[in-house]
């Protein structure tokens, strides 16, 4: 069982930056592909970014490409999401997810473990 705990959410202004963190309890964190997803009010959860277990491969949703950066520190069992140039449309609950052994993936069903989420609200 892997526990994921997100942090770093909050209320920000449009144009601001924010970094989300996700701490994992897995002793073999380095074997997990990690992903970030988000769910806006009244909408389905959607893919944001993913990073392979070594960090060599990353994919982003078109809506965040060029503004968000996913990274990981396997020594700290932590994955990050750096969010720049935030816009009101980025307002959502952001979820961290882990997929053991698989490649970097945008498919929600590929992920085995999920965090509780952290709220990010971007005001205009």
CA distance linking residue 15 with residue 122, whole number of Å: 9
Share of the chain above pLDDT 90, in %: 87
DSSP string of 43-84? Answer: S--EEEEEE-TTS--EEE-TTTTTTEEEEEETTTTEEEEEE-
Q: Are strands 118-123 and 10-13 parallel, antiparallel or unpaired?
A: parallel
Average pLDDT (65-88) is 97
Output the pLDDT for position 84.
98
Residue 8 binned pLDDT confidence (cut-offs 50, 70, 90): very high
Output the pLDDT for position 60.
98
Q: Range with the lowest mean pLDDT among 22-26, 38-42, 99-103?
A: 99-103
Residue 55 binned pLDDT confidence (cut-offs 50, 70, 90): confident
In the predicted model, is pLDDT for residue 114 greater than 80? yes
In the predicted model, is pLDDT for residue 101 greater than 80? no
CB atoms within 10 A of CB 115: 21
- What φ, ψ does residue 87 adopt, rounded to 5°? -125, 160
| CB contact at 8 A, 97 and 6 | no
| CB contact at 8 A, 60 and 49 | yes
């Amino acid at each position: 069982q892997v526990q994921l705990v997100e942090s770093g959410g909050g209320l920000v202004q449009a144009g601001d930056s924010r970094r989300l963190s996700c701490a994992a309890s897995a002793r073999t964190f380095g074997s997990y592909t990690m992903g970030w997803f988000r769910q806006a009010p009244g909408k389905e959860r959607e893919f944001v970014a993913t990073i392979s277990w070594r960090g060599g491969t990353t994919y982003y949703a078109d809506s965040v490409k060029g503004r968000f950066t996913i990274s990981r520190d396997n020594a700290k069992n932590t994955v990050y999401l750096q969010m720049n140039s935030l816009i009101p449309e980025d307002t959502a609950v952001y979820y961290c997810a882990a997929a053991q052994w698989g490649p970097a993936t945008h498919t929600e069903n590929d992920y085995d473990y999920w965090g509780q989420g952290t709220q990010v609200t971007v005001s205009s």
